Amino acid sequence: MKEISILIGGKAGDGIRQAGQTVSTLLNRIGYRIFFYDDYPSLIRGGHNFSIIRASEKRIIAHKDSVDIIVALNKDTAEKHKSRLNAEGMILYDSKAVDTEGVGIDFMQIVKQLDGLPIMRNTAAIGALAKVLGIEWPVVERVMKDTIEKQVALNLNIAQLAYEKVGTSRFVIEKLDQKSLPLVSGNEAIALGAVRAGLNMYIAYPMTPASAILHYLAAHEDDLGVVTVHPESEIAVALMALGAAYAGARSMVGTSGGGFALMTEALSLAGQGEFPVVFIECQRPGPSTGVPTYTMQGDLSFVVHAGHGEFLKVVLAPGDAEEAFYLTGLAMNLAWKFHIPTFVLSDKHLSESIFSFAADPDKIKPEPPLIWDGQGKYKRYLDTQDGISPLAFPGDPAATVKVTSYEHDEYGITTEDPDQIARMQEKRLRKKEGLIDELAKNEQVKIYGNRESKTVLLCWGSTKGACIEVAEQLGLKVVQPLVLKPLPIDPLRQALSDADMIIGIEVNATGQLAKLLSGHGFGIDHMILRYDARPFTVDGLLDKVKEVIS
């Protein structure tokens, strides 16, 4: 057996995500590539939580509706997900809490026998599952020692007792002869990409699903050399980031749609004042509070068109952890080269899922900005041929560094003179040609699947994972733009030129990428949209694509 999907479920407080991460690490250690999906309501206790761990010998970046094993710590898990089981699948369940067919073990009794805490039922479940999968105990022991932070010996004893109670292994998963890869969430990849590009300061107000970026960077401040700040509001976040950039710090902010709505005034200030700042916008369902812990691709139009007036910005949309890493580094370097706000547009599905990570850190290096040479009188907004003005920072005794939200002259002195106004507008917009050239040095549109196919699945962001696997099964082509503003028209036209049928696939209700492309002359023949706050799964999308092409 070289692929397996496992669903672990219980209520909030049962340690479901932690158990799922440990199982992911177990399968990773024996050579499998991992995709980990986490589903949970906005509750601290109660509700229904579940995680799906999909492991395969090949790289995967999506999960399936169908699973091979369900690990049920409560009755809800067995009842809600029994229909997901494959024909040969089984349920491993806590016999004290669940009455169903499968392999039942009294996890709580094991915990009580060894004087453990109730949450350690998840440890018992991990031990039992490892035996079901035929994973040797020494591997389990090493993984648990590496992943458990407290009461390691007790947890090991609980896991081993549950392991021994299973008896004969039901699924024997083959150990693969390939190197284990780091397991990294999308948010962690975003953080690491920014750090590689020279991030100095991360500023955020906690907002799911971006909060984990703040938590990760705060936990590793000393190791990564990044200052993390949690101000009192999203408005303060954005303005503090502009102040940090003015002082010479490479700053980044993280939020979701509702938080970014409060930052748009500061975004326009960044456009006028030419502040280099990176915005991470992790999408979730809206409008307003929406559904805080679930996913959507509903903020594309908002982010692309955000801010009043006319100014340059870049919007990049990664679809997996490696792209999140590389594109965040690119966003940071573009912001500082062109003195503009840049965006990385993620979503809950990408941000909080965990991937086998194979990025090359050496592909990202901080690119130094154009610095003032100290000659003459400093002009913060010097009108250059390419629109990029040399930078100086407060503290330089030879420079008066003045920035403003008002229209201004080259020195930053406010003006209402019509010639000066037109000149500065043209100066800022003149950067566009260089920006487009710089973006063209990078891969802006990706193509997967059968490049000769006349049927194209057009997607963006995390939806690409399911699209790629569906295309492989049906012999179709996948086109994924990574840059959404400024839209890479020529690469898109080249990628789509031979298509007889273009099927747009998005996790929103109105087809926002399709609308964006239609304004540039691209016609989309069919739309497959999902807007129930869940991502596309491989098998679910396969059925929908078959309906369209049949």
* pLDDT tens digits, one per residue of 506-522: 999 999 999 999 999 99
Mean pLDDT of 232-258: 98
Judged against a pLDDT cut of 90, whether residue 503 lies above it is answered with yes
Sign of CA dihedral 410, 413, 414, 418: negative
Task: Give residue 9's pLDDT.
Answer: 96
Type and span of the H or E element at 351: helix 348-352
Sign of CA dihedral 119, 121, 125, 128: positive
Angle at 237 between CA 233 and CA 243, to 5 degrees: 140
Judged against a pLDDT cut of 60, whether residue 208 lies above it is answered with yes
Mean pLDDT of 336-361: 98
How far are the Cα atoms of 15, 203, 287, 300, 318 from residue 253, in angstroms, in the given order?
29, 5, 21, 18, 17
Are residues 488 and 445 in contact, defined by beta-carbon separation less than 8 angstroms?
A: yes
Type and span of the H or E element at 9: strand 3-12
Nearest to 520 by CA among 479, 488, 472: 488
The dihedral formed by the CA atoms of 107, 109, 114 and 120, expressed in degrees to the nearest 10:
30
Task: Give residue 417's pLDDT.
Answer: 97
Nearest to 457 by CA among 443, 474, 444: 474
- Percent of the chain at pLDDT > 70 equals 100
Distance CA 547, CA 549 (A): 6
Task: Give residue 1's pLDDT.
Answer: 54
Distance CA 118, CA 129 (A): 18
Work out the mean pLDDT of the chain and round it to a whole number.
Answer: 96
Mean pLDDT of 226-241: 97
Distance CA 209, CA 349 (A): 9
Judged against a pLDDT cut of 90, whether residue 542 lies above it is answered with yes
Judged against a pLDDT cut of 80, whether residue 332 lies above it is answered with yes
Judged against a pLDDT cut of 90, whether residue 431 lies above it is answered with yes
258 SS3 class: helix
Task: Give residue 46's pLDDT.
Answer: 78
User: Predicted confidence band at 172 (pLDDT cuts at 50, 70, 90)?
Assistant: confident
Distance CA 244, CA 238 (A): 10
CB neighbour list of residue 228: distance below 8 Å, 6 or more residues apart:
201, 202, 203, 204, 214, 217, 218, 221
Task: Give residue 271's pLDDT.
Answer: 98
Task: Give residue 168's pLDDT.
Answer: 79
Give me the domains of the chain, ranges plus CATH numbers.
Answer: 3-166 (3.40.920.10), 184-363 (3.40.50.970), 445-549 (3.40.50.920)
CB neighbour list of residue 519: distance below 8 Å, 6 or more residues apart:
none
354 SS3 class: strand
User: Predicted confidence band at 169 (pLDDT cuts at 50, 70, 90)?
Assistant: confident
Distance CA 511, CA 224 (A): 39
* pLDDT tens digits, one per residue of 396-408: 999 999 999 999 9
Distance CA 137, CA 184 (A): 25
Distance CA 45, CA 39 (A): 14
Mean pLDDT of 268-296: 97
Angle at 446 between CA 441 and CA 448, to 5 degrees: 150
43-47, 140-144, 385-389, range with greatest mean pLDDT:
385-389
Judged against a pLDDT cut of 90, whether residue 170 lies above it is answered with no
Distance CA 408, CA 490 (A): 35
Distance CA 204, CA 280 (A): 10
User: Predicted confidence band at 43 (pLDDT cuts at 50, 70, 90)?
Assistant: confident
Task: Give residue 123's pLDDT.
Answer: 95
Direct distance between the N- and C-terminal alpha carbons of the chain, in angstroms, rounded to an integer: 32
